[in-house]
Amino acid sequence: MSERDAIAWNENEVAELAAKVDALKRSMARVIIGQEDVVDLLITCLLGGGHALVEGVPGLGKTLLVKSLAQATDMDFRRVQFTPDLMPSDIVGTEILEEDVETHQRVFRFQQGPVFTQVLLADEINRAPPKTQSALLEAMQERAVTFAGTTHRLPRPFFVLATQNPIEQAGTYPLPEAQLDRFLLRIDVGYPTEDEEVLMVSRTTHAGLDDAEPAMDVATLLRLQLLVRDIEIGEHLLRYATRLVRATRPRESSVEAVRKHIGWGAGPRAGQALVLAAKARALMHARLAVTREDIGAMLLPVLAHRVLRNFEAEADGIEIAEILQSLRREIKVD
């Protein structure tokens, strides 16, 4: 019998776990001013066991957001600043030659890189060349690193948050579609409101912001990730999620906006991501069953980085969000 087969959820335990999620949000709110939707998406991604691509201009607190999440969940945190001269070994690690002081025998020992952590911030990931970007592929998909024929398992949980600056593209290397598909969600961090910005300036120019207090331990987080997998979803909603993903493919889509403005649609992994994210959102709202609203709310963060606009859409200034809204309006639930 597997670990998952042995789990039997009861109402009291589910309520207790849901309360831990609320405590996590409150802990992060002590540090993060505003950005409630961003925090919700980040926690949703964490509960779903996926990775997040975070986009926003400099100065919006993306690094603080990730660091606060690690503090509030009591997880190990490391940050890697991606630069053009960063090498794969700077991320995954390398072998070093050591000599035994008594026998003088020399042996190679694997020196772990910063990827061996629980929360990894890949800051400005598109500033590193493709060879270095790809060093994260196996880690993100398999939760392991293979070096010199030996596979090294990563800690559990393992959560990658990669940041990108959407306005500064000089000297960058856009992430290939295969790597973008490894991110469960793309989270856009926008400007704060005027009141939020005033509060942010006030706090950071006086005593500064406090650290987030631990609100959840790793064992609880792992249990929440298991619970997400057991959230119920009806057959009609599974078919609805699949139809939404299939409708992003221009050749088989019935949605005019897709046929006109999309060059390449999402693959089957997007359907898996959409259902998993919808389950995590249901748990965020203390529900044990997915609704149509859960799927609709996750449509943009799940598909925005998996669907490519064609040249006509870019020339006309048609945004992915507009196309996906058309998709959501036209695809119906049975």
Residue 79: what pLDDT?
92
**Residues 235, 146 contacting (CB under 8 angstroms):** no
Q: In the chain, what are the domain boundaries?
A: 1-82+118-125+156-230, 231-334
Token pair of 18, please? Answer: 């849901």
- Check pLDDT > 90 for residue 273: yes
pLDDT tens string 238-251:
999 999 999 999 98
The domain made up of 1-82+118-125+156-230 has a fold known as: Rossmann fold (3.40.50)
Residue 6: what pLDDT?
43
Residue 8: what pLDDT?
62
Give the closest residue to 259 by CA, choosing from 219, 313, 213, 306. 313
- The three-state DSSP-derived secondary structure of 70-107 is HHHCCCCEEEEECCCCCCCHHHHEEEEEEECCCCCCEE
What is the CB neighbour count within 10 angstroms for residue 6?
Answer: 7
pLDDT tens string 197-240:
888 787 777 665 567 788 888 998 998 999 899 899 999 999 99
Average pLDDT, the chain: 85
Do 1-82+118-125+156-230 and 231-334 have matching folds? no
Token pair of 207, please? Answer: 């005593």
User: What region, left, alpha or beta, does residue 153 occupy, with left being phi > 0 and alpha being psi -120 to 50 degrees?
Assistant: beta
Which pTM value belongs to this model? Answer: 0.86
CATH number of this structure's domain 231-334 = 1.10.8.80
Residue 2: what pLDDT?
44
Token pair of 197, please? Answer: 């910005």
pLDDT tens string 161-206:
998 877 666 667 888 887 888 899 999 888 878 887 888 787 777 6
What is the CB neighbour count within 10 angstroms for residue 269?
Answer: 13
**Residues 122, 161 contacting (CB under 8 angstroms):** yes
pLDDT tens string 132-145:
888 888 888 888 88
Query: What percentage of the chain reaches a pLDDT higher than 90?
Result: 28
Residue 3: what pLDDT?
46
Residue 115: what pLDDT?
92
**Residue 205, burial from CB neighbour count under 10 angstroms (0-12, 13-18, 19+):** exposed
